[in-house]
Amino acid sequence: MTPQATTKRAAYFVATILLFIAGIYVAAPFLIPIVLAALLAMLLTGTAEWLEKRGINKGLASFIPVLALVGMVTLLFFILSWQVSRLADDFEEMKKGFIDNVRAIREWVSDTLDIGIAEQEKMLNEQKNGTTGQADNLLLSFINTLTNVVVNTVLIVVYTFLLLFYRSHLKKFALRIVPAGKKQNVDRIIRKSVGVSGRYLTGLFSMIVMLWVMYSIGFGIVGLKGAIFFAILCGVLEIVPFFGNFVGNLIAVFAVLAQGGDGSMVLGILAVYLIVQFLQTYILEPLVVGEQVNINPLFTIMGLAAGELLWGIAGMALAIPVIGIIKTICDNVPELEAYGMLIGPANVRKNRASLLHFLKRKNERK
């Protein structure tokens, strides 16, 4: 191949990648519900197949898992609503504690940075005047966001059901568009992708439930009001790896301050966070999640950053399973094996040492 042809081929490749990125960015409102529904369908495929083997017709076997999932989410919503209503009873007390903390911060700023209370008031008023126009549209923005959430939720439920119902049809389509000699490999890629995504999501949901229990106990011991609510919040935010758990605990710290808690309670929240992170990283993740999505930390962080840039919070939540599917495809296509190796861990044998493995090896030596 001549240098000109090589350059031309590289230019076409870069242009294709840029067009693809631009396309998924522009089409985000359309693609996000479909991708999320596809992942949920992969999670529920095993249940649907099990029901079909028990003699239940395909439509009902596809509908029951979706209905069960909707029921679980609805139950979680009611639990959160119940906890929020309990917090609302203490709203005035929390508001007073928050105001007291703000006053203390302003006094610290005045004493430390030599910015007087009157000057701080002036700066706050200027900021308030600059955002008055935005505040006027706050209600309209909230209604628009709520409408989008409801519409997307309905779309995700419908898409999930239809993808489950037509999964065989879609698989036949994928097999028909590839050459005859590659059908077996494509069939294996589809099965592995569905399996990897399903096991990852199952492990993630199990991890979230365990985090709910641990954070509920920890926050309860610290004395945080609404411990169950903040525990559920921290667990749900685990959907966004690395950052979600930290943000949830940061919100819990602000809640402690708003409730009038002292420094020991704040340190207690931080201690709970560190203990849970230790248990999660070295015991629960290797045991529950395992290495279903075998991605090295570099591409994990890059995937999260790219997901947030393209699709916002939804992109961060979807980044890891999507990269896991991409890696599965690369590992099973000879021409792309190098890219699968690049995305995967540097140490193929074991990319994470767990406390369980360490204790097991120690017992074996004895």
Per-residue pLDDT for the chain (366 aa), expressed as one digit of tens each?
Answer: 577 777 777 788 788 888 989 999 999 999 999 999 999 999 899 899 999 999 899 999 999 999 999 999 899 888 888 877 777 666 666 666 666 666 666 666 666 666 666 665 666 565 555 444 454 455 566 677 778 888 899 999 999 999 999 999 999 998 888 888 888 888 888 888 888 888 888 888 888 888 899 999 999 998 888 888 888 888 888 887 777 778 888 888 888 877 777 778 889 999 999 999 888 877 777 666 555 567 887 888 888 889 889 998 888 888 888 888 888 888 888 888 888 888 887 765 444 444 445 555 555 555
How far is Cα 333 from Cα 340, in angstroms, rounded to an integer?
9
| Whole-number pLDDT of residue 141 | 66
Report the domain count for the chain: 1
| Whole-number pLDDT of residue 155 | 94
Q: Is residue 101 part of a domain?
A: yes
What single string gives the DSSP state of each residue in 135-169?
HHTHHHHHHHHHHHHHHHHHHHHHHHHHHHHTHHH
Domain of 47, in residue numbers: 30-177
| Whole-number pLDDT of residue 167 | 92
Q: Is residue 18 part of a domain?
A: no
Q: Is residue 115 part of a domain?
A: yes
Q: Is residue 327 part of a domain?
A: no
| Whole-number pLDDT of residue 62 | 93
Exposed (0-12), middle (13-18) or buried (19+): which is 70, by Cβ within 10 Å? middle
Q: Is residue 353 part of a domain?
A: no
**Between the CA of residue 219 and those of 54, 66, 222, 267, what are the distances in Å?**
44, 33, 5, 11
Q: Is residue 138 part of a domain?
A: yes
Q: Is residue 351 part of a domain?
A: no
CA 126 to chain centre: 37
Q: Is residue 119 part of a domain?
A: yes
Residues in the chain, total = 366
What single string gives the DSSP state of each residue in 238-293?
GGSTTHHHHHHHHHHHHHHHHTT--HHHHHHHHHHHHHHHHHIIIIIIIIIITTSS
